[in-house]
Structure 1
Amino acid sequence: MKPAVPLVAMAVALALAGCTRGGLAGDTGPETRWRQVTTAQDRDRLRDWRKAWVEALPAARTADNGVIASQGPLFEPDQAMSNAMPPPGDYRCRTFKLGAKRPGLRSFSAQPWARCRIGREGDMPVFAKLDGIQRPSGTLYAENDARVIFLGALELGDETTTLAYGQDAKRDLAGYVERIGVGRWRLVLPWPSFESQLDVIELVPA
């Protein structure tokens, strides 16, 4: 009887032949890579995005319904439009924090307008908030025409070096970008590690 080793080698070779530059067999390009790098924590965050809205939005409305109502689709969960990927360039952005992470924290807060940018690193689009005490930055993955997955990390205070995604679970961020109007997008971050249950970052061209 011939040894089974050649069969094993053939199986390995076929598996490797099925791989693409992005990673695993069946990977159709850069857009699908997020599934290969997402941590277990962030898979949960992305899966439970609606639960974050359901828990955070009523508390935010109780705290400041006037601001919530005045922003139209910004705070409505099901408002995704086509062409979700923001084009490269400079943006104005502002962060809203909805729901309190623990008792004693505010259920709604709005931060001032800041500078944000959509750029590229290699063949991948990236997002970075350039001003403020909390500055998310990371990679954008076009899951489909109406939703872009964001995986990144949080830079704090006077730090000048951004952590790579996956280095620190408390700093990791996962969410999605949606277009909600003409020249208007939002980055939604469910279950961030600090302060809130849901962060919503509005983006408009600078």
Structure 2
Amino acid sequence: MWGRNKFILAALALPALAACNTVPPVPRSVADGPPSPPSSDGSWRATATEADKLRIRSWYSSWEAALADARAKGFGAQVDREGILLHPTAALPNPHLPAGDYKCRTVKVGSQSGGTLGFIAYGWFRCRVSAEQGLYSLVKLTGSQRPVGLIFPDNLTRQVFLGTLELGDEKLAVSYGSDRMRDMAGLVERIGDNRWRLVLPAPAYESLVDVIELVPDTSK
């Protein structure tokens, strides 16, 4: 797994190096409480593309549009069954996502195409969070669409994910910032005891918002 994480670090560190000199480590204190605000050097804002900064700024309007579209297309009951997972303002303090193996599943809300598929919930796959060189990486290990990226501290109720999308049988992610259709940006939030979500507003494909639920994998 080290080789893949090393690639992730390189892929996301390069844009930050262009804007400053280094990407700072995630504070060690995050294991004990909310992350400290990052310095301007190497923060997610220094790393993110302009398009991804807009995605993060517009997260709430994207989520409102996604929920409205899903309900208008007759998926209100499915949305309601997901409960707090799809509540836009459900984030709790201390969003830090500890290193380890996770079960993860994706819920796609709203449709970009105007078609009838305004909601789809997938089954459980495998994800992993790793601490490497002071940074945290998040990788979806299985499935045909696999986010791969880094988690940056932001504030008391969220962290920011920046990454790219692996597809099909690809073995390596493309470098962040090299393909806007593969770039991903989202919010990592804690929504319960040992329960987190990655909210991806305005993804490049299919939906208006993707929500990835993460819970520790206790099967091992």
Alignment TM-score, normalising by the size of structure 1? 0.84
**Alpha-carbon separation, structure 1, partners of 2:39 and 2:90:** 27
Q: 1:202 aligns with which of 195, 198, 213?
A: 213
Q: 2:166 aligns with which of 146, 152, 155?
A: 155
Q: 2:84 aligns with which of 45, 55, 73?
A: 73
Are 1:35 and 2:45 an aligned pair?
A: yes
Runs of at least 4 residues of structure 1 off by over 4 A? 27-32
The amino acid that maps onto 1:69 is D
Q: Secondary structure at the match of 1:96?
A: strand
* Post-superposition offset of 1:66: 2.5
Q: How does 1:173-192 map to 2 (within 5 A)?
A: 173-192=184-203
Structure in which a larger fraction of residues adopt strand: 1
The amino acid that maps onto 1:48 is S
What stretches of structure 2 of length at least 5 have no aligned partner?
1-19, 25-36
* Post-superposition offset of 1:145: 2.2
| Corresponding residue of 1:144 | 155
Q: Secondary structure at the match of 2:60?
A: helix
Describe the shift of the 1:33–1:107 C-alpha distance in structure 2 as closer, same or farther (beyond 3 A).
Answer: same
* Post-superposition offset of 1:22: 3.6
The one-character-per-residue Cα deviations of 1:136-191 (angstroms, maximum 9, x if unpaired) are 01000010121000000000001111112112110000011100011110000000
Give me the CA root mean square deviation.
2.0
Paired residues of 2:107 and 2:210 also in contact (CA < 8 A): yes
* Post-superposition offset of 1:106: 1.2
Percent identical: 44
Are 1:48 and 2:67 an aligned pair?
A: no
Q: How does 1:81-100 map to 2 (within 5 A)?
A: 81-100=92-111
The amino acid that maps onto 1:180 is I
Relative contact order higher in (CA < 8 Å, ≥ 6 apart)? 2
Q: 2:178 aligns with which of 167, 170, 174?
A: 167
Paired residues of 1:22 and 1:30 also in contact (CA < 8 A): no
**Alpha-carbon separation, structure 1, partners of 2:113 and 2:185:** 20
Give the paired residue count: 185
**Alpha-carbon separation, structure 1, partners of 2:49 and 2:157:** 23
* Post-superposition offset of 1:20: 7.0
* Post-superposition offset of 1:75: 0.4
| Corresponding residue of 2:127 | 116
**Alpha-carbon separation, structure 2, partners of 1:190 and 1:65:** 19
* Post-superposition offset of 1:72: 1.7
Alignment TM-score, normalising by the size of structure 2? 0.78
Paired residues of 2:21 and 2:41 also in contact (CA < 8 A): no
Paired residues of 1:153 and 1:172 also in contact (CA < 8 A): yes
The one-character-per-residue Cα deviations of 1:104-149 (angstroms, maximum 9, x if unpaired) are 3611011110000111232111101111110001000010121000
| Corresponding residue of 2:143 | 132
